[in-house]
């Protein structure tokens, strides 16, 4: 009889361990589905996200694999001012020095992507932190951060950028991207503060405070999800600002020519009369198409991913572990 009780006890321990392991596995699976797979399903359900993702992916390929597959632009790659699709060794044509416009466009992409990432992340992160903390904490913290934000907003952006560029003469794309958005965060921080001021008095936020939830958790779970669509749109606007600002400064010659840039291509085309000649207008249109293309892709992507932060839509696209395992439980 004792042996039977012992065997039953061992069986129970084994079953308990199996259930614990299964429960742990289910928790990991559910977390993976909610954290990664569900956002991907929600995003991919919108055609704007699909098209925007494809466009962005093409530029990422240009900036990674493209610079390996395509030779850097050098003089004499083809005949001078060869139109597109005339010589397949230079499919997009050449400029007045015989440089391939395809090579110049591709090799201008990596520094541009670095500038976009650095500038957009810097301005959006600073604005989100300053605006959220200022709006939620209130009091002296709000007054100090609001004063700092107002000072940043009163400084004219373009003269400040030109001054900093002339002072530091940056060549690193990351530094250039940050300089281009050095005070662009202020307006977004002000807008985020206004939204947080209204959100902090909602009943669900008040309930979290009454239950003793820490401030960090309230901001992460109750405040940030409600402002993230707006933040995402402004992230894209910051990225577009970096694109247009860097191209403009390179076009004007205020940034050095340490690496290729679409603004340098536009400057060369304009100074050599491409704007007045139909036979060479392609020299002007190709870098413009590259600028418009990446901006369009970013806008489409941001519009399509607005649904990511809607909890009802995320729940509708989620595949819970219980649903997956229901047939086996029967």
Check: CB of residue 244 under 8 Å from CB of residue 137: no
Q: Once rounded to an integer, what is the mean pLDDT over residues 191-196?
A: 90
- Confirm whether 38 is domain-assigned: yes
- Confirm whether 9 is domain-assigned: no
Residue 136 confidence (pLDDT): 87
Q: Once rounded to an integer, what is the mean pLDDT over residues 177-201?
A: 90
Q: What are the pLDDT digits (tens) for 49-86?
A: 889 889 999 999 999 999 999 999 998 888 998 999 99
Residue 229 confidence (pLDDT): 79
- Confirm whether 3 is domain-assigned: no
Q: What is the CATH number of the domain that holds 261?
A: 1.10.3720.10
Q: Once rounded to an integer, what is the mean pLDDT over residues 89-113?
A: 93
- Confirm whether 254 is domain-assigned: yes
Q: How many Cα atoms sit within 13 Å of 241 on the Cβ side?
A: 25
Share of the chain above pLDDT 90, in %: 41
CB under 8 Å to 172, separation ≥6 — which residues? none
The tally of domains found in the chain comes to 1
**Whether pLDDT at 289 is above 90:** yes
- Rounded to whole angstroms, the Cα distance separating 231 from 295 reads 17
Check: CB of residue 81 under 8 Å from CB of residue 75: no
Check: CB of residue 274 under 8 Å from CB of residue 281: yes
Residue 304 confidence (pLDDT): 74
**Whether pLDDT at 312 is above 70:** no
Q: What are the pLDDT digits (tens) for 229-279?
A: 788 888 988 999 999 999 999 998 888 766 789 999 999 999 988 888 888
- Facing residues of 100 across strands? 94
- Highest mean pLDDT, choosing among 6-10, 57-61, 316-320: 57-61
**Residue range of the domain that includes 268:** 19-329
């Amino acid at each position: 009889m004792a042996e039977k009780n012992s065997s039953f006890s061992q069986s129970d321990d084994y079953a308990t361990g199996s259930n614990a392991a299964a429960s742990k596995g289910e928790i990991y699976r559910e977390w993976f589905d909610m954290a990664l797979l569900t956002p991907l399903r929600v995003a991919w359900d919108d055609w704007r996200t699909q098209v925007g993702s494809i466009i962005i992916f093409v530029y990422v390929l240009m900036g990674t694999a493209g610079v390996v597959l395509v030779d850097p632009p050098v003089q004499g790659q083809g005949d001078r001012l060869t139109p597109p699709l005339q010589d397949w060794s230079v499919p997009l044509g050449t400029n007045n020095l015989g440089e391939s416009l395809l090579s110049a466009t591709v090799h201008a992409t990596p520094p541009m992507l670095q500038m976009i990432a650095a500038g957009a992340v810097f301005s959006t992160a600073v604005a989100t932190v300053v605006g959220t903390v200022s709006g939620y904490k209130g009091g002296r913290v709000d007054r100090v951060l609001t004063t700092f934000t107002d000072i940043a907003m009163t400084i004219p952006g373009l003269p400040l950028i030109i001054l900093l560029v002339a002072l530091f003469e940056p060549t690193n794309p990351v530094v250039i991207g940050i300089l281009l958005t050095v005070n662009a965060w202020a307006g977004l921080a002000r807008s985020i503060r206004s939204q947080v001021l209204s959100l902090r008095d909602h009943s669900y936020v008040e309930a979290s405070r009454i239950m003793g939830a820490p401030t960090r958790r309230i901001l992460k779970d109750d405040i940030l999800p409600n402002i993230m669509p707006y933040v995402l749109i402004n992230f894209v606007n910051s990225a577009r600002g970096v694109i247009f600002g860097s191209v403009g400064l390179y076009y004007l010659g205020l940034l050095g020519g340490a690496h290729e840039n679409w603004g340098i291509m536009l400057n060369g085309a304009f100074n050599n009369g491409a704007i007045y000649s139909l036979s060479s207008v392609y020299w002007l249109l190709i870098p413009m198409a590259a600028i418009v293309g990446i901006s369009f892709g970013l806008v489409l992507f941001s519009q399509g991913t607005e649904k990511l932060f809607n909890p009802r839509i995320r729940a509708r696209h989620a595949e819970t572990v219980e649903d997956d395992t229901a047939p086996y439980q029967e």
